[in-house]
Amino acid sequence: MRLGGMHEACGVAGAVTPGRQAARPVFFGLFALQHRGQEAAGIASSDGRAAYIHKGLGRVAQVFDEDNLRPLAGELAIGHNRYSTTGATQLRNAQPHLVETVLGPLAVAHNGNLTNARALRRELLEAGIGFSSGSDTEVILRLLALPAEGSEDPWIARIGRLMARAEGAYALVLLTREAIYALRDPWGFRPLVVGELEGGGWAAASESSALATMGARPAFEVEPGSVVRIDREGYRVHEVAAGRPRALCVFEYVYFARPDTVLAGREVHAVRRRLGAELAREAPADADVVVGVPDSATAHALGYAEAAGLPFAEGLIKNRYIGRTFIEPDDALRKTGVRLKYTPLASVLADRRVVLVDDSIVRGNTAGPLVRLLREAGAREVHLRVASPPVRHPCFMGLDMATHDELIAHRLELEAIRAHVGADSLAYLSHAGMLRAVGTRTGLCDACFSGRYPLAVEPAAPEEDALVGEG
């Protein structure tokens, strides 16, 4: 449930395009990754002599036009769509971050969240290194800017030191004078893929669907703990950090990734249909029609309807022109946003028993207004079905999943949640059912459901100033 629910991961993209401007395919990659962050966008490029950058608040199409894209010269570029997990929306936190180093320019675009960012930041401050933002991405940038030894490629040496020190989730694209680097943390929390561009060159992006929009054919996923160096001659893979037990965020399958993306060999749309089918088998309802919350739960609802032998119908029409209202930080605005964002179809709902399928319930601010919308349109009964288990634990790996007290499933039992949202019945997919649908019992982070975190986490004390984590 997006309004007042969890927020998405940031999106990153990069390209090396011999003989032509790299910023243009990166722009289209960010456009395809808009669902992963809408607070800010930015692109940095290099022509081998100097670096250029443009970034701003808002969505990609609001930040970029021909006049500010054209000056981003060079055959190397990286870009970023931002959603912050904590902190205010400010231009100083927009990415990529760019600095000049002894090796030339360095720009960083980051998807994830460092769990030890405060300790690393304090260490750098004590060493006399200043910061211009409150982002944990700048912690990564300042660490990479420091000299390091131990590799023929000095940037690989610096990345190796970063991987040895940083804890948590990070999928990064780095821009230097002569190459871009794509890397994932040793757990592989966030996705990152590399593809071959039509007309020559290579690209990297958070999702395979973005590569297609960039004009690239997906080639391979960046392995956890590895670094891919891409320059005008091609690419080279460096195994830098020993891989930990794989921990790809399961919510990439449930909600975050685009349905046409392939993750670990699994098409997201197909997985979501299986999630809905498992939910139908576990929690059938005596109903007339199945309706999904668009667009995130459409595939889940299709799977539910097929497995239940019920018709699927569009009972909610989404206004796609008002933006994603979950970006608003005020709960009152989020609740108003339900009516702004969705319109019920009385012709589908009137005097019918409806199964309403959604991908998740986090805070519970949206489920109640949606149930009321269906009833006002004439639905006789509303049976709410959720295609993931109850979210009972916060995420510390790059998603805004609230605190324990804000998570409705942490505070309330099932019947109390049902009463709170006003549904005639409520059921969640079981944890085992989710894993069956995804197709694996290993290699996933499911801590928001299970409370089993792949690495040690230490929530900040209330009196601490929070760093801005990057989705």
pLDDT digits (tens, 9 = 90+) for 211-235: 999 999 999 999 999 999 999 999 9
Other Cβ atoms closer than 10 A to 104:
15
Q: Give domain status of residue 88, yes or no.
A: yes
The answer on 270 and 207 residing in a single domain is no
**ω into 344 cis (within 30 of 0):** no
Q: What is the pLDDT of residue 471?
A: 58
Q: Give domain status of residue 280, yes or no.
A: yes
Q: What is the pLDDT of residue 458?
A: 63
Q: Give domain status of residue 451, yes or no.
A: no
The answer on 233 and 279 residing in a single domain is no
The answer on 353 and 206 residing in a single domain is no
DSSP code of residue 406: G
Q: What is the pLDDT of residue 192?
A: 98
Choosing from 192, 214, 247, the residue where a domain stops is 247
Kindly write down the DSSP assignment for every residue of 277-333, as one continuous string. Answer: HHHHHHS----SEEEE-TTTTHHHHHHHHHHHT--B---EEE-TTS--GGG---HHH
The answer on 239 and 189 residing in a single domain is yes
Work out whether strand 425-428 and strand 381-386 pair parallel, antiparallel, or are unpaired: parallel
The answer on 330 and 235 residing in a single domain is no
* SS3 state at 390: coil
123 to 134, 141, 187, 337, 459: CA distances (angstroms): 15, 14, 24, 43, 19
Domain count, the chain: 2
The answer on 18 and 101 residing in a single domain is yes
The answer on 83 and 48 residing in a single domain is yes
The answer on 157 and 36 residing in a single domain is yes
Kindly write down the DSSP assignment for every residue of 201-268, as one continuous string. Answer: -EEEESSHHHHHHTTEEEEEEPPTTEEEEEETTEEEEEE-S---S--EETHIIIIIS-TT-EETTEEH
Sign of the Cα pseudo-torsion (439, 443, 444, 447, in order)? positive
In SS3 terms, 83-125 reads as: CECCCCCCHHHCCCEEEEECCEEEEEEEEEEECCHHHHHHHHH
Binding residues for Mg(2+), by number, are: 296, 358-359
Q: Give domain status of residue 417, yes or no.
A: yes
Binding residues for [4Fe-4S] cluster, by number, are: 249, 395, 445, 448
Q: Are 109 and 46 in contact (CB under 8 A)?
A: no
Residue 57 CA to residue 327 CA, distance in Å, equals 12
Q: Which residues pair with 41 in a beta bridge?
A: 56, 81
Residue 226 CA to residue 237 CA, distance in Å, equals 7
Q: What are phi and psi of 244, to 5 degrees?
A: -90, 175
The answer on 129 and 16 residing in a single domain is yes
178 to 54, 70, 289, 293, 346: CA distances (angstroms): 20, 20, 57, 46, 59
The answer on 208 and 102 residing in a single domain is yes
Other Cβ atoms closer than 10 A to 86:
14
The answer on 136 and 46 residing in a single domain is yes
Extended beta strands in 312-409, E state: 316-318, 342-344, 353-358, 381-386
CATH number at residue 342: 3.40.50.2020
Q: Which residues of the chain have pLDDT under 70?
A: 1-9, 84-89, 321-337, 400-402, 441, 458-471
Q: Give domain status of residue 430, yes or no.
A: yes
Q: Give domain status of residue 466, yes or no.
A: no
CATH number at residue 125: 3.60.20.10
Q: Give domain status of residue 227, yes or no.
A: yes
Q: Which domain holds residue 320?
A: 266-445
Which is catalytic among the residues 10, 275, 277, 362? 10
Residue 111 CA to residue 419 CA, distance in Å, equals 37
Question: Burial letters for 37-71: b for 16+ Cβ neighbours within 10 Å, e otherwise?
Answer: bbbbbbbbbbbeeebbbbbebebbeebbeeeebee
Q: Give domain status of residue 219, yes or no.
A: yes
Q: What is the pLDDT of residue 336?
A: 59
227 to 13, 148, 242, 330: CA distances (angstroms): 15, 16, 12, 39
Is there a catalytic annotation at residue 260? no
